[in-house]
Amino acid sequence: MKDIELAYQGRIHRVPNRWEGMSSENYISLVADLLHMAGGQLSAGEVRINHLLRLMGWDKRKFRTEEQIANLVAISEQLTFLFQINYPDNNAALDGVSGEAYERCRRVDPYRLQLPIARVLRRLDYRYVVDLCFCAQLLPSVRVKEHDYKGYTVKTSYGMLTCSLTALQYIEARSLIEQGEKSLPLMTAILYYPEQRYDSEKAHALAHEFAVLPVEVLTAVSFNFQAFNSYLFNKTSFSLLSKFEPQSARPITTDAVDALYDLSKDGLGDAAQIEQMNMITYLKVLRKKTISAVRDMKGFGWDKAKISQESGLPINIIDKIL
């Protein structure tokens, strides 16, 4: 998705069409709008317009004529990074559509889409969902009363992904993603834990401190972490670790906590040392163990169907490993 170039008052303005690089203030305001959208007070179009107004420093009240409003709407609709459009049956209507056309169908409202398939899509019950998949820390710190709590860092300098979270921090925060609003103060306490050495018990005790934060700030913390987690398992080599299909017992451990403490059996340290392992290192080790286990099964003479049954990995992923 390309940034938007906009001529205004004799200058060319570049409007970011991405999450990365957004200021903390704009990000929190955007999340507040997304919460209002979830509550039915705003539409997806209004969220985009409000975001554009903030980025450009424009006053909505000054857009009075039909032409001015139409231009504002047209520019805002170029902000395609915010949402994806979901169609029924896992986007079944888009089967056979690929490449750029598919991306446009998932980003542009069918009533604005200039493609033949748009006539079909307009008749379907579609919905907008927030597209949370990016690698950035948009809230480097949060302020609680008179104290600033610094959050985890994420960097991709020189093509190298780094993150300051420990393995245990990452696992505990990830386990809270689906727990709803009540878990947000705890997730924030985990991700913004103030001491250099992470202590789970102290982080849980600290959660009440963060409960005073506005819901849009707590939600912004959660959205940012969800986006980073989604990036890890969709845009990096760690995507392998998201391919396991649910099964009962299998030789490869995929439960995050079990997998963490299993590493102590491999001579990588005791439980306390394993908990403080950097999360990127933890995921690298887990990925390597997964690949080794699949190759070991192949070495035992197992065929791919049996390996798939035992490991929980689809055959196409096993093919890539072998």
**pLDDT tens figures, 191-232:** 999 999 999 999 999 999 999 999 999 999 999 999 999 999
pLDDT at 254: 44
pLDDT recorded at residue 159: 87
- The pLDDT score that the predictor gives to residue 289 is 82
Question: Could you say which residues of the chain have pLDDT below 50?
Answer: 248-254
The CA distance from 129 to 37, in Å, is: 10
Put simply, whether the predicted model's pTM sits higher than 0.85 gets the answer: yes
Tokens of 105: 């169908």
Confidence at residue 221, expressed as pLDDT on a 0 to 100 scale: 98
State the pLDDT at residue 57.
92
For residue 29, the model assigns a pLDDT of 97
Over residues 1-23, the pLDDT tens digits come to 788 888 878 888 889 999 998 99
246, two tokens: 């649910």
Report how far residue 192's alpha carbon sits from residue 152's, in angstroms, rounded to the nearest whole number: 7
Phi-psi region of 133 (alpha: psi -120 to 50; beta: other; left: phi over 0): beta
**Local structure of 208: helix, strand or coil:** helix
pLDDT value of residue 251? 40
Residue 252: per-residue pLDDT: 40
- pLDDT at position 255 is 53
pLDDT at 13: 86
Q: Which residues contact 185 (CB under 8 A, 6 or more apart)?
A: 207, 208, 209, 210, 211, 213, 218
